[in-house]
Each structure stands twice: as C-alpha cells, then as structure tokens.
Structure 1
Amino acid sequence: MELHQLRCVIAIAESGTFTEAANALHLSQPALSHAVARLEKELGSRLFHRNSAGARLTAAGEALLAPARRALAEVISARTAVQAVAGLLSGQLSVIGVRTAAVETADLVVRFHHRHPGVQILVEQPADDRAVVEAVRNARCDIGVIHGTEAPPDLPHTPAGTQQLLALFPDELAPPGESVTVRYLAEVPLVVPLSGTSARARHDAFFRNLARQPTIAAECTDHSTAIELVRGGLGATLISGSRHARINTDGVVARRVRPDIRPDLAAIRRPHGSPAAEAFFRMLTP
C-alpha cells in the first residue's frame, strides 16, 4: 500500500468522480484508475461502486477512508517535524485555492516563493469553497484560499485580500457608460456559477433584494468557460477585476457595478500546521 494510492482514494471519495479526482491530483484518469485497481487487488476488495453518475465508496472503501486520512496526516506531521529542525530552506507547502480566486491565490503563492524560494509549492484549484475547506480539514492541503463568508469557525483563518467584481458583456450587448447597476444586470441574460455551489449562493445573494430575479442564460463551473460564453454572445457575467486584467479582452467589455461588490477572501489552515503554513500566515499578517 502506497501513499499516492491513499491520496487517490481520498480524492475520489471527496470529489465523487474519477475525472475530478484525476484533475485535482494532476494525474491522467488511466493513471488514477490503475493506482486504485492495484490497491483493490492488494486488499482483495472493491473500494468504489462505479456508474455513469460517478463513484461512491463501498463498505470496504468506507472502512479504508478514515485510516487513509490519518496516514496522510501522520506523513505531514513527520514532514513538519523534520522541517521544524531544518527550517524553511526546503520542504513543501500545498495550497488549495477556490477557482474564483485563482489569480489572488497565484499572487499569494508568488509572494511566498520570493520569501522562501527553497520551499516546493503545490497548488490546486477546485471549483467550490467547500472542497477547499475539506481538503484543509482532512490534512490533504496545508493552506486554503476561500471567500471570507465561507471560513469555518473550527479552522484558523486570516484575511487574504479583497476582490472587486466587474460585469463583463459581449461587445454587442455592452451598455453605454462606465458602470451598471445590479438592477440592470437582472434585466440581461447572465452566465452564472453552477447551481448548488457556494459560488452560486454568493452570486444569488447579490440580487436577493430585487423584485426581479436575473435571467439565467447558462451555468458553468469554470471562469474561463464563462468568459468564452460571454464572448460568444450568450450574455453577461460577473468577473473579478484581477482576472479581467489578465484575460484577452477581444469581443468583451467590462463595466463597474454599482453599488460596488467587493467580496473578501480568507486563508485557512489546520491548527498546529507546518512551519511553511505558519510562515504563509505570517506573510498575511499586517
């Protein structure tokens, strides 16, 4: 039994599909399936029920999940003990940032790298804040970057910046002027986050006090896809100013939103984290 096999089992259990788990672990799906198949052969039990809807744990898989998480936590603890002696000249830091804060997460990682260039940094970007919280809580990642409203009370957290949301329109639908109101956005077709995600809950909250709810043109999980749908003329979408500064603006136009929508971001970690995680938090302390 190998640690990377346990990581595969945990990732599939958390995501519910082999495809999403492979993406999270930066593996090809055949490599992930092979690792699980080898482990199932070694244990003599199937660990997952597979069907068109995804994968769910068998009874044997359920029995393995908690010990697998403990084993990974022990490995992290062992690494922490060595790093505490060796300092931060080397070692690893795993950072998981929600996809809607990808640019801000990358900026934080770059800042940390400049301070501690000897630390190898692993970065993941799931679509939902809840996946970030679970990855940190289960000791799969050291640091999480989420929206401040999603920070759980049982994990240490600290402010990690603020986003300013802009409205992005296809050229042909762009209104005149430099800004639009939230009420105006409720009158145009919108490309929005997937229903049931924390991103969608925050999005819907922007329109909660309006008599008219927005018209949904499309739902998707990825900002890059949303931008391309806007470019193709499906409707408008909300995008962070930091991401807008880095995209190809051909065929799209951004407008400020009135009143300002400025979601706060937060970094989270486990109590008694690694020296690298502690250093990451110190970097964010004014």
Structure 2
Amino acid sequence: MNFRQLQYFLAIVEHGGFSRAAAALYVSQPSLSQAIQGLERDLGGSLFHRIGRRAVLTEAGTALIGPAREALRGLELARASVGAVRELRGGRLDIAAMPSPAIEPLSTMVQSFTTRYPDVSVNLRVAPTRVDVVDTVRTGGCELGLLTTTSPIRSQGIIAHPLGDQRLVLVTSADGPFPAGRAVRREQLEGHRLIVGQRGTGIRAYVEDLRARGIDVRIAVESEHRMAFLPLVLRGVGLAVVTESWAELSRRAGALVLELEPRSVQHDVLVSRKAELTPAARAFLDSAIPRDT
C-alpha cells in the first residue's frame, strides 16, 4: 500500500468512477485501474463493484475511506511541517462551509488569510447542513468547517470555535407585501409563501417553529441551492427568511430586506479537528480567532 494508491482510491470515491477520477488526476485509466488492483491485492478484498461505468463501494471500500483520508492527511501534515512550518510557502487548505456563512464571515476570513499567506490555496467545499459540515471535518474530508447553528455542537473529535451571531431577516421583492423600514412580526407571515432550505438548516428550523406556533406559512420552494433564493424572491415566487449575511447582496439586487420580530439569531461557529492540524489550518484559526494577549 502506498500514497499513490490511496490518492487514486479517494479520487474514485469523490468523482464517482474510474474514468472521471483518471481525468481529474491526469493519468490513464489503465494505470489507475492497475493501482487499485494492487491495493485490493494488498488488502485482500475488492474495494469497488464495477457496474458498467460506475464504481460502487463495497463494504471494505467504505471502511477504507476514513483511514485513507487520515493517512493522506498525516503525510500532508508531515510534508507541510518539514517544508513550511513558518513561512507557509505553499500547500492547500480545505474548508467545508454552509452557504450562508460562506458569504460572511468566511469571505472576510479568507481575505485576511490569503493576504497574509498568498501562496496557500484555499479550497471551499459546500456542505448544506451543520451535520454535513461536522461530519466532513470529523472524518478528515476537510480540516476546518464553518456553520450556523442554534444549539451547541456536540461531536467527538471536533472543537467548536464560536465566532458571533447573525440575526435572521426577511427578504421580499421590492413590491412585496410589507412596507420598507418596518419590522415584520412573525404572525404577519401567516398565509405567505416561503422559499426554504432543506431540513437540518437553521433557516428551515425557523419556518418549522412558525408552524409549531400555529402560524400557517406555505412552502413555495424547497432548495439545497441557497443562491437560488434571491432570484426566486425577485420573481415573486415567495419570501425568504435568511441570515443577515445575505442583506447587502439582496439590497444590491433590488430586494427589500426587513427585520423580524421577535429577533431571532443563529450562531456562527468554526469547527476544527482535535487531531493535530497542518500549519495552514492552524494559521487560519489564529487569523480568524485572535488569541488573547
């Protein structure tokens, strides 16, 4: 078993097949297949079911994902520690983020980090829910994750770093049902059509809480694609309850942004693994969360 075999294995998992993985790695498919066959011989079992052009993980393959990520992360840590402990002259930092905090505060944090460490490449991965963020970080898919939540983060192997709060706001079209400059009481949402995210998001939880209180709101659209919210609002499909990170973008697009009463907030949290971090991840944490002097 070697680094190249594990890298090829994870590429097939991430890209869903041998041909796509070979294209992403810029290697020939026969070379990729031979490397995986060698890995399977070393481990004494098949890692994939070959179904046409698809590669479906076997039970053994599923069990290998976590250890493979750990091994590659460990090698990356060793290389980075030896070559760029202080200077951070290169390398890559993987961050998983929910869509709303990916707008803000993540953009500000990335700007600060890349200004200081321009040679480090930052790779942002979308994780729709807080569970997705935590699982991605916990299993080694990314070293850091950014999420919004209304409840404490409890997961083994994860450290939570609170960043601050964001209030929820209501976004409507310019000719929407509510006047500009006035806060909207939650009871006033009765009977209105809302554009919502999938279950597991704080925005969806707010809408479910309205229903639990007997406020009859209707779901016009449910979407994992948060960037679809604003175009749908502007076309009059429905209203959207979003975090205030969307406020500036919404106003620039011509939408109306209104406060909600009573005030409702969500907490931005940066999560990291308890395991030792690469220098890039540690530097990002230090930049995002200044230590007390």
TM bracket (short chain): 0.7 to 0.9
Question: Cα offset for 1:110?
Answer: 0.9
Q: Does 1:77 align with 2:98?
A: no
* Alignment match, 1:117: 118
* Alignment match, 2:227: 224
* CA-atom RMSD in angstroms: 3.3
* Alignment match, 1:285: 290
Q: Is the 2:251–2:257 Cα contact (8 Å) retained in structure 1?
A: no
* Alignment match, 2:270: 267
Structure 1 distance, partners of 2:21, 2:213, is 46
Q: Is the 1:145–1:160 Cα contact (8 Å) retained in structure 2?
A: no
In structure 2, give the amino acid aligned to 1:31.
R
Q: Does 1:151 align with 2:153?
A: yes
What TM-score do the two structures reach when normalised by structure 1?
0.78
Q: Is the 1:100–1:127 Cα contact (8 Å) retained in structure 2?
A: no
Give the 3 Å change call, closer, same or farther, for CA 276–85 of structure 1 in structure 2: closer
* Alignment match, 1:91: 91
* Alignment match, 2:43: none
Structure 2 distance, partners of 1:251, 1:169, is 9
**What SS does the corresponding residue of 1:157 show, helix, strand or coil?**
strand
In structure 2, the gaps of 5 or more residues are: 41-45
In structure 1, the gaps of 5 or more residues are: 13-17, 23-28
Which residue, out of 182, 187, 202, partners 2:205?
202
Give the 3 Å change call, closer, same or farther, for CA 241–259 of structure 1 in structure 2: same
**What SS does the corresponding residue of 2:249 show, helix, strand or coil?**
coil
Structure 1 distance, partners of 2:180, 2:10, is 51
- Of 34-43 and 94-103, more deviation after overlay is shown by 34-43
Which residue, out of 11, 15, 22, partners 2:14?
11
* Alignment match, 2:194: 190
Q: Which has the larger radius of gyration?
A: 2
Q: How many positions carry a matched residue from both structures?
A: 269
What TM-score do the two structures reach when normalised by structure 2?
0.77
**What SS does the corresponding residue of 1:127 show, helix, strand or coil?**
coil
Question: Cα offset for 1:78?
Answer: 1.8
Give the 3 Å change call, closer, same or farther, for CA 55–166 of structure 1 in structure 2: farther
Structure 1 distance, partners of 2:254, 2:167, is 21
Q: Does 1:128 align with 2:129?
A: yes
Q: Which runs of 4+ in 1 moved over 6 A?
A: none
Alignment deviations for residues 208-263 of structure 1 (CA, whole Å, 9 cap, x no partner):
65222421111001121121111221110012222231247455322111122221
Give the 3 Å change call, closer, same or farther, for CA 221–63 of structure 1 in structure 2: closer
